Structure formats: structure tokens, C-alpha cells
């Protein structure tokens, strides 16, 4: 009798994630920002099983990031848990992970979860990709060092540190012009997000 081949420790084949509460239409939403949550909520009465694949457990309300950056609000006040937002919606589940590939013919998305080495597959009948926007420096990546973006909590906290740090350093300046330079800020862009 042949023995099965031992698993290769260097191989991490994707494993399907089964969720089949009623073999209804399966909708996979990649992203839990405004677009992803709007789509999930719009499907609340649909005869469908909805899966949200989110790279973070929280929904970030980006229009208030400037208030985190300036110390008015804490990060928890603008980033509620996605599960909490959708807690009353019975046809939704939330998976933490980042999509790494798609197989459109097989209708599966392969994802990786933080802290887990093996990827997993999520099947779907309908796919909604709502991954949002990313910061752009229009081909000038070196601008990021002096002009941080404001697209994430980490960005807001870095900006807060820079702003508060400038005030602390200005306090030590005896020369009024040097103090004014430390307290000069430039804002590029005027969008809410």
C-alpha cells in the first residue's frame, strides 16, 4: 500500500474557506471602505451570502483624519470595527486578509491573513472590488519624506508627531525668524480625503 507523500513545508497551497449557510448566491466584496460597506449594506435584504475581505478590521472614516492629525479626535473615534458596523446584518461575514490573486474562471480570490502563513481561497458568484485609492506623488516618490500623505491612521499619527514636534522645537528657539520657520506649514490639496 502506497504511503501518502508528506506535505512540503515550503509549500503553502491555498485552502478553500467554506461558508455555505444556504447555497445562495455568493457575493465577495474586497475592501471595507465607503464603497465596500455601501455595497454590503445595499445587499442586506438580498438572498445572498456576502463576504467582505478586509485588509484591516476597522472601517476608516477618512474625512476625519485631519482631526486625528491635529489631536482633536483619537484614532478609535474615526475607525469603528467593520464587524460592529455590520453586526445586525445576518447575511454578511467579514474575513481579515489581503487579496493576492484572482482566478476569474474558477471564481476564487486567494488571500493572505496577517499572522497566517498559508493563503486561503474565497469563492464567489459575484465580485465587487472596492479597494479605495492610494497616495500619489505623481512620479516624485521623494516628496513623501517632506510631504506625508493623509490616507491612514498611521499617516495621521505621523503628521501629528511632526506638528507637535515643530511646536516643541519652536518653543526652544530664541530667534523669532527661526521660530517662524519651525511654525510654517504648507498644505497641498484640499479634498476631504
32 plus 125 within the same structural domain = yes
Is residue 22 pLDDT above 90, yes or no? no
- For residue range 120-141, list pLDDT tens digits in order: 999 999 999 999 887 888 888 8
On whether residue 102 sits in a domain, the answer given is yes
69 plus 152 within the same structural domain = no
pLDDT at 17 (0 to 100):
53
Domain count, the chain: 2
The β-bridge relationship of strands 108-112 and 120-123 is antiparallel
pLDDT at 11 (0 to 100):
43
- For residue range 26-35, list pLDDT tens digits in order: 999 999 999 9
Helices within the chain (DSSP H only):
34-42, 65-69, 82-85, 153-172, 176-182
pLDDT at 55 (0 to 100):
94
89 plus 157 within the same structural domain = no
78 plus 163 within the same structural domain = no
Residue found under cell 474625512: 63
pLDDT at 52 (0 to 100):
98
Is residue 176 pLDDT above 80, yes or no? yes
| Cα distance between residue 71 and residue 28, in whole Å | 36
On whether residue 105 sits in a domain, the answer given is yes
On whether residue 115 sits in a domain, the answer given is yes
pTM over 0.75: yes
On whether residue 15 sits in a domain, the answer given is no
On whether residue 10 sits in a domain, the answer given is no
| Cα distance between residue 159 and residue 170, in whole Å | 16
**Sign of the C-alpha dihedral computed for residues 68, 73, 78 and 84 taken in this order:** positive
35 plus 114 within the same structural domain = yes
Are 38 and 119 in contact by the 8 Å Cβ rule? The answer is: no
28 plus 123 within the same structural domain = yes
| Cα distance between residue 86 and residue 39, in whole Å | 12
Domain that holds residue 70: 24-129
Neighbours of 81 (CB within 10 A): 15
- For residue range 140-158, list pLDDT tens digits in order: 888 888 888 888 999 999 9
Amino acid at each position: 500500500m502506497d504511503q501518502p507523500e508528506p506535505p512540503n513545508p515550503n509549500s503553502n497551497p491555498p485552502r478553500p474557506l467554506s461558508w455555505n449557510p444556504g447555497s445562495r448566491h455568493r457575493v465577495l466584496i474586497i475592501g471595507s471602505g465607503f464603497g465596500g460597506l455601501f455595497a454590503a449594506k445595499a445587499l442586506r435584504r438580498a438572498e445572498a451570502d456576502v463576504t467582505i475581505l478586509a485588509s484591516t478590521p476597522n472601517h476608516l472614516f477618512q474625512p476625519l483624519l485631519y482631526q486625528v492629525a491635529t489631536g482633536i479626535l483619537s484614532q478609535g473615534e474615526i475607525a469603528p470595527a467593520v464587524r460592529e458596523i455590520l453586526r445586525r446584518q445576518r447575511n454578511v461575514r467579514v474575513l481579515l486578509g489581503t487579496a493576492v490573486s484572482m482566478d476569474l474562471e474558477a471564481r476564487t480570490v486567494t488571500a493572505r491573513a496577517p499572522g497566517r502563513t498559508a493563503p486561503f481561497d474565497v469563492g464567489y458568484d459575484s465580485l465587487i472590488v472596492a479597494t479605495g485609492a492610494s497616495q500619489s506623488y505623481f512620479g516624485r516618490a521623494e516628496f513623501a519624506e517632506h510631504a506625508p500623505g493623509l490616507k491612514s491612521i498611521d499617516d495621521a499619527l505621523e503628521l501629528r508627531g511632526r506638528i507637535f514636534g515643530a511646536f516643541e522645537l519652536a518653543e526652544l528657539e530664541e530667534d523669532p525668524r527661526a521660530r517662524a520657520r519651525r511654525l510654517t506649514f504648507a498644505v497641498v490639496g484640499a479634498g476631504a480625503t
